[in-house]
Amino acid sequence: MAKKMKNMEKDMRKGGKRIVAKSPMKALKRVLTYLKPYKARLAVALACLIGHVFTSVGGTFLLSVVVDQYILPLAYKAGVITAATYAARAAVVTTTDFAIMVGIMAAVYVCGALMHYLYNYSVTYITTKVLQNVRDSLFVKMQSLPIKYFDTHTHGELMSLFTNDTDTLRELLSGALPNIISQSMTVIGIFVMMMVISPVLTLCIIVMIVVGMVVTKYIAGKSGKHFVRQQKEVGALNGFVEEHIEGLKVVKVFCHETQEIKDFADRNSALGFASRKAHTYANVLMPIMGNLGYVNYALTAVVGTIMATTGFLGMTWGGLVSFLQYSRQFNAPISQMAQQVNGIMMALAGAERIFDLLDQEEESDEGYVTLVNAREDEEGNIIECAEYTGIWAWKHYHKADDTTTYVKWQGEVEFENVTFGYVPEKTVLKNVYMEAKPGQKIALVGSTGAGKTTITNLINRFYDVTEGKIRYDNINITKIKKDDLRHSMAMVLQDTHLFTGTVRDNIRFGKLDATDEEVENAAKLANAHYFISHLPEGYDTMLSGDGANLSQGQRQLLAIARAAVANPPVLILDEATSSIDTHTEKLISEGMDKLMQGRTVFIIAHRLSTVRNADMILVLEHGEIIERGNHEELLQLKGRYHQLYTGAIELD
């Protein structure tokens, strides 16, 4: 492991790829745009900040007044100090005067503390609202992204945007950025007061600060690149862990634990390396700056004592006390600002990742044909109506002549010489032609990777065809709005996903305005009503963890019920019964037949017994349809389908 870490460090020194914020200032400006809606609160926060800095700096200056005009006169009067130490013998001060002055100082500091509280409260409120808006923007954006984006990014990588990257943004807005502003104002205020008290001592302070800045720049530069690398490695590790948890059963079945542990160790080592380097440099910065501050304080005290003793350039003991306090206050914010640099760089790297998603091109939709409620008039024409009639129609507006036509929604699907590839260099479908008449059952069979699921992805326009056309009710689907197109279909996938909520809510996901009666009728149609009725709370039973408290078969039945409640004319069953045992499959066969009745159905199945009654069976191989016909016709051909059905060749 040590050797691996050494090699990684060597690669980085050679100039390996570094993940850094490409344009930190551009990212920062964009982050600041999220603050615009809160200008009033920002003004309040700024006013409180200025008040806090003023009281803090002013309170320290009052120390010189207290020492010179109150403490020294009282000490001289009491004989504690000699005339040589105290020259202003004419001053007459009482303990009451001293108490009043101390009270004024206390009031100044209390006022400063109150303003600091109001400042922190305002900043916290603004930060919380900004992060809420960022998360809302991320989630809304994700809903508009094409499926391709999610196929090319891991779940862990996307989750990292909502967790790690957003958290670094919170640190930037509530910690690093406000602290930089606060500390900058404090430094300016203190510097002005130090110049008022003693320009000579201030020059000594500046010399030490320059030394500190050189050290800070070197160390911050070293740690900054490792912090942004650490952020990248965290996202990669999260993605690996999430993928491993989802596939834990597969890992155990194939006894792959050792390799998984090794792969995790590699990723964890990369994260550990970046973290170790980042925090090593970051942690050494504070002690170095602290020791430089002590040296600075000691030199200032020595020079200042000499000046106060001799009265050089009007230096007084009270002025020295205030100046020494200022010198301590002056070093602290500079050190803290140096510490904030790494956090800011890491936050801006995370912000760029967030903005990268927000800037992704949304799923395009040039469609203008919509799906509307319709009815037939006395002459048999299809016309649009507001209420639900059970009849739907495609509304086609013709801009050229400003007319609108309606085509009854029937569910006819036609592929016309469709060619498609997910990437240009690899074609998945080649010149596919097929025609599904309303009410027909089309079965797609073939080996894994033959292109069966790709056909269903194209019907839904999750991807657009490279060549050829797909027509829906004789309308090119590129002319149909995607939401309306997908609303006219329902899918039951092999990998069932259930959402946190009640059983009723999960079924109603297929039709959000479905009544309780429609939900229960859909469950009965899918033969899910019986097992639902025996759940602890029936249809109101809460599901969580993707329906972990249900069997795989029960989850599949709910997915079928979800499709049934949508009541679409086109139904896509992608291995819909693959997770259901033979007994359960028999129970739902009648319900499935009712569900498919009168609908255009596309069935993808490895279990060929489920497609025997299909009107048309298409056998795909390497993206091409090599055989077509019904069950009996294909058996008579004694070709690929016959081999698959008789078991001469098994489906992958």
Q: Which domains does the chain have, with CATH numbers?
A: 21-358 (1.20.1560.10), 370-406 (no CATH), 413-646 (3.40.50.300)
- Burial of 505 from C-beta contacts in 10 A (0-12 / 13-18 / 19+): middle
Residue in 38, 49, 39, 271 with CA at minimum distance from that of residue 178: 49
The pLDDT score that the predictor gives to residue 18 is 38
Sign of CA dihedral 546, 547, 552, 555: negative
**Residue 414 pLDDT exceeds 90:** yes
Phi, psi of 623 (to 5 degrees): 80, 5
Gap between the Cα atoms of 266 and 1, Å rounded = 9
**Residue 9 pLDDT exceeds 50:** no
Confidence of residue 87 (pLDDT cuts 50, 70, 90): low
The pLDDT score that the predictor gives to residue 14 is 35
Gap between the Cα atoms of 333 and 212, Å rounded = 12
pLDDT digits (tens, 9 = 90+) for 481-535: 998 998 888 888 777 788 888 999 999 988 888 899 999 998 988 888 888 998 9
Radius of gyration of the chain (CA): 37
Distance from CA of residue 196 to its chain's centroid? 51
**Residue 112 pLDDT exceeds 70:** yes
Confidence of residue 90 (pLDDT cuts 50, 70, 90): very low
Residue in 372, 324, 579 with CA at minimum distance from that of residue 483: 372
Residue in 290, 136, 155, 137 with CA at minimum distance from that of residue 216: 290
**397: helix, strand or coil:** strand
Q: What share of the chain is helix, strand, coil (3-state, %, to 5)?
A: 60, 15, 25
Provide the pairing of β-strand 467-472 with 391-398: unpaired
In the numeric block, which tokens belong to residue 649?
A: 């060749």
pLDDT digits (tens, 9 = 90+) for 257-303: 788 888 888 888 888 888 887 777 777 766 776 677 777 778 888 88
In the numeric block, which tokens belong to residue 485?
A: 């197109």
8-state DSSP, 617 = E
In the numeric block, which tokens belong to residue 60?
A: 């320290």
**Residue 433 pLDDT exceeds 90:** yes
Confidence of residue 476 (pLDDT cuts 50, 70, 90): very high
pLDDT over 70 percentage in the chain: 85
8-state DSSP, 534 = T
User: For the CA atoms of 546, 552, 557, 558, what is the dihedral angle to 10 degrees?
Assistant: -10
The pLDDT score that the predictor gives to residue 93 is 61
**628: helix, strand or coil:** strand
Gap between the Cα atoms of 409 and 328, Å rounded = 79
Residue keyed to tokens 């009031």: 107
When mean pLDDT is compared across 84-98, 164-178, 405-419, 555-569, the lowest value belongs to: 84-98
Confidence of residue 652 (pLDDT cuts 50, 70, 90): very low
Annotate 442-485 with DSSP letters as a single string. EEEEESTTSSHHHHHHHHTTSS--SEEEEEETTEEGGGB-HHHH
8-state DSSP, 599 = S
The pLDDT score that the predictor gives to residue 386 is 79
Residues 6+ apart with CB under 8 A from 279: 223
When mean pLDDT is compared across 222-226, 444-448, 602-606, the lowest value belongs to: 222-226
Which amino acid type is present at position 599?
Answer: R
pLDDT digits (tens, 9 = 90+) for 321-363: 888 888 877 767 766 776 677 778 778 888 888 888 898 888 8
**Residue 20 pLDDT exceeds 70:** no
The pLDDT score that the predictor gives to residue 12 is 34
When mean pLDDT is compared across 156-160, 446-450, 608-612, the lowest value belongs to: 608-612
pLDDT over 90 percentage in the chain: 13
The pLDDT score that the predictor gives to residue 89 is 45
The pLDDT score that the predictor gives to residue 473 is 92
8-state DSSP, 627 = E
The whole-number average pLDDT for the span 607-626 is 85
Phi, psi of 494 (to 5 degrees): -65, -45
Gap between the Cα atoms of 378 and 380, Å rounded = 5
Gap between the Cα atoms of 1 and 5, Å rounded = 6
Mean pLDDT, rounded, of the chain: 80
The pLDDT score that the predictor gives to residue 200 is 85
The pLDDT score that the predictor gives to residue 16 is 35
Confidence of residue 581 (pLDDT cuts 50, 70, 90): low
Confidence of residue 382 (pLDDT cuts 50, 70, 90): confident
Distances in Å between the alpha carbon of 122 and those of 32, 46, 408? Answer: 16, 9, 58
The whole-number average pLDDT for the span 386-390 is 77
In the numeric block, which tokens belong to residue 457?
A: 């992805």
**Residue 609 pLDDT exceeds 80:** no
8-state DSSP, 36 = G
**Residue 572 pLDDT exceeds 60:** yes
Higher pLDDT, 21 or 168: 168
